[in-house]
Amino acid sequence: MKRVVVLVSGSGRNLQALLDHAAAGTLQASIVGVLSNRADAYALERARLAKVPAICLPHQNYPERADFDRALADAVSALAPDIVLMAGFMRVLGDAFLERFAGRMLNIHPSLLPRHPGLRTHDRVLEAGDSEHGATVHFVTPELDGGPRIIQGKFRVPAQHTAAMLAEKLMTEIELRIYPQAVAWFARGELGLEAGRVKFRGVPLDAPLSLQDLEDPFR
Ligand code: GRF
C-alpha cells in the first residue's frame, strides 16, 4: 500500500473521490493525512469523517513564505508519504518544498494545460470563446501549473453554459475520474517522472493520456 498525503484548501470533492476509492480498495493506496492551509476548508471535515488525520497549518501564522513551506514540508514528511497530492490547494509552494517531493507530487488543474494556467479558468474559457474545456493531472514542478502532464479529460463547451455550470460539469464528468485513475497508476508503479518526462508503463509519453485510457472503476 502506498502512503498518500493530500494538500487541500477548499471543499475537497477531489479528496472525497480519493477517500472513497481508497476505502473501496481500488487505489492500492491509503490516505494517511490531509493538510490544509485554511481552518475552514470543508476538506478537513471530510478527512475527519473518514478517520484520516486532518491537520491545519494556517499560512497567516508564518510571516515568511519560506517558513510556511518548511513547516508544511516537515508536517508532510512526518507522515512518510510515497505520494503527495495537491487537490484544490491554493498556495504556491517554493522550490525547497518541491525539491523534497520531486517526482512524487501531483496536482489537478481545471483547464487543458498549457491553456489557462492559474485562476478563474472557467471564466477564461468563456471569455476566450474556447470550443473545448477540460482538466489536467500533472506532476508538480517549480513552474506554476507547468509540470509534465499525465492525463487530460475534455468536453465541448455547451452553448449557454455559465462559468459555474462549466465548473460543475468539469468536476463531475472529468476531475473526479481522472485524478483517482492517475493516483492508482502511480500507486501501482506504472507512472513516473524521468528526465522531466512522464513515463507510463516504461514508455515516455509524447502526449498526455486521455479519457479513453481510463480503466474500471474510474471510467
Ligand atoms: C478543482 O477544480 C481543482 O481542479 C482545482 O481546485 C478545485 C478543487 O475543488 N485545483 P475541490 O476542493 O476538490 O472540491
What is the helix, strand, coil percentage profile of the chain, to 5? 35, 25, 40
Cα angle 162-108-20, degrees, rounded to a multiple of 5: 95
Range name among 13-17, 63-67, 154-158, 183-187 with the lowest pLDDT average: 63-67
- Judge whether 107 is annotated as a binding position: yes
- CATH number for the domain running over 1-101: 3.40.50.170
Calculate what percentage of the chain has a pLDDT beyond 70: 100
Task: Quote the CA–CA distance of 174 and 153 in Å, as a whole number.
Answer: 6
| Site residues for ligand 1, CB cut-off 6 Å | 8, 10-15, 43, 87-88, 108-110, 135, 171, 175
Task: Quote the CA–CA distance of 133 and 159 in Å, as a whole number.
Answer: 12
Q: Which atom of ligand 1 is nearest to the CA of 42?
A: 12
Alpha-carbon Rg for the chain, nearest whole angstrom, is 17
What is the pLDDT, as a whole number, of residue 96?
Answer: 85
Confidence of residue 6 (pLDDT cuts 50, 70, 90): very high
Q: Tell me which CATH homologous superfamily contains domain 110-135+150-219.
A: Formyl transferase, N-terminal domain (3.40.50.170)
Range name among 16-20, 46-50, 93-97, 102-106 with the lowest pLDDT average: 93-97
Mean predicted lDDT score pLDDT of the chain: 97
Domain ranges of the chain: 1-101, 110-135+150-219
Per-residue pLDDT, averaged over 128-138, amounts to: 98
- In this predicted structure, the answer to whether residue 138 has a pLDDT above a threshold of 90 is yes
